[in-house]
Amino acid sequence: MAKQDLEFIHRFEPGSKDGPVVLLLHGTGGDENDLLPLGRAILPGASLLSPRGKVLEQGMPRFFRRLALGVFDEKDLKLRTGELADFVTAAAETYGFSLDRVIAAGYSNGANIAASLLLMRPDVLSAAVLLRATVPLRVHSLPDLRGKKVLLSEAHQDPYVPKEQALDLEATLRSAGAEVDTLWIAPSHGLETAEIAPIQRWLKGTIKDR
């Protein structure tokens, strides 16, 4: 089902009734179709909500602006995080699901705005899988993330996310009370098929523990 309302061009694929809803957030240059195969693979039977980022960088969709490689436009990031959170809330009403069923699965730029959601609008997520994420911004006061589960899937030699930045995000989320697990499977920034099975196992355990 393709939609262009709710402020974001997006796709929604309904899954099992009262089951989880995976919020798929693509990387730079992706769109609402990019991560649908990943969503179907990591959590079969789940509903999939996949928006397209509104920001264009040299014609490539992103979820927020950056000033240079690795340097984020924090003002724009805060604005876009609020927009995305409002979209998820509106989509929940439109498609008939509750926010406590929403699990973000984001890659690169999408993982970073998912991390921003956790830090600024954690009410719209119950859990998150962040692939190649870094600390997107510093907040004056950390939110209460107790009860939130987060899986980081990082790369050994990522040219965009140095290991110390991935570890910084891990520590930040834990300081906020989140339960954080980290995978170090991928050699570089790209997605790897070897990640799918451990992400499946983690998600199965996360859903079972609810």
**Which of these is catalytic: 76, 123, 181, 189?**
189
Nearest-angstrom CA–CA distance, 102 and 98: 7
Candidates 19, 38, 49; CA nearest to 200 is 38
Q: At 80, is the secondary structure helix, strand, or coil?
A: helix
Active-site entry in 34, 126, 153, 158: 158
Active site residue 158: yes
d(CA 48, CA 23): 6
Residue 26 catalytic? no
User: Residue 44 is which amino acid?
Assistant: P
Among candidates 61, 37, 149, 147, which has minimal Cα distance to 104? 149
Q: Residue 147: what are its φ and ψ, rounded to 5°?
A: 95, -10
As a whole number of angstroms, the distance between CA 173 and CA 125 comes to 14
The residue from 47, 108, 126, 153 that is catalytic is 108
**Which residues contact residue 23 at a Cβ distance below 8 angstroms, ignoring those fewer than 6 apart?**
49, 50, 51, 88, 102, 103, 104, 105, 106, 114, 125
Provide the annotated active-site residues.
108, 158, 189
